Amino acid sequence: MKWHIHIRKWKTPDSQQLRFWVQAAFIALCLWIGVEFTLWYYWHEGSGAVQVARPPGVEGFLPISALMSLWYLMLDGSIHPVHPAGLSILIAIIAMSVLLKKSFCSWLCPVGTLSENIGEFGKKLFGRNFRVWKWLDYPLRSLKYLMLAFLIYVVFFQMDALSLRMFLDSPYNRVADVKMFLFFKNISQFSLIVIGVLVAFSLVIRNFWCRYLCPYGALLGITGLLSPFRITRNAESCIDCSKCAKVCPNRIAVDRVHTVMSDECTTCMACVAACPVRETLQLKASRRSRRAVRPAWVAAAVVGVFVLVTGLAMLTGNWHSIVGEAEYSRRIKDIDNPIYRHNQGSAPQENTARQNGRSSRDVDQTRWRENSGGAGSGVR
Return the amino acid letter for 343: N
Q: What digits encode the pLDDT tens for the residues 222-239?
A: 999 999 999 999 999 999
Reference 60, options 27, 30, 35, 28; nearest CA is 30
Does residue 1 register a pLDDT over 50?
Answer: no
What whole-number distance in Å separates Cα of residue 39 and Cα of residue 36? Answer: 5
- All structural domains of the chain with their residue ranges: 15-224+302-374
**Residue 90: how many CB atoms within 10 A of its CB?**
22
Is the pLDDT at 366 greater than 70, yes or no? Answer: no
In this predicted structure, the answer to whether residue 7 has a pLDDT above a threshold of 50 is no
Mean pLDDT of 293-317: 96
Do residues 276 and 246 lie in contact, with contact meaning Cβ atoms separated by under 8 Å?
Answer: no
Distance CA 229, CA 328 (A): 44
- Measured CA to CA, the distance from residue 254 to residue 192 in angstroms comes to 37
Which residue type does 300 have? Answer: A
Q: What is the pLDDT of residues 21-64, one digit of tens each?
A: 999 999 999 999 999 999 999 999 999 889 999 999 999 999 99
Q: CA 221 to CA 225: how far, in whole Å?
A: 7
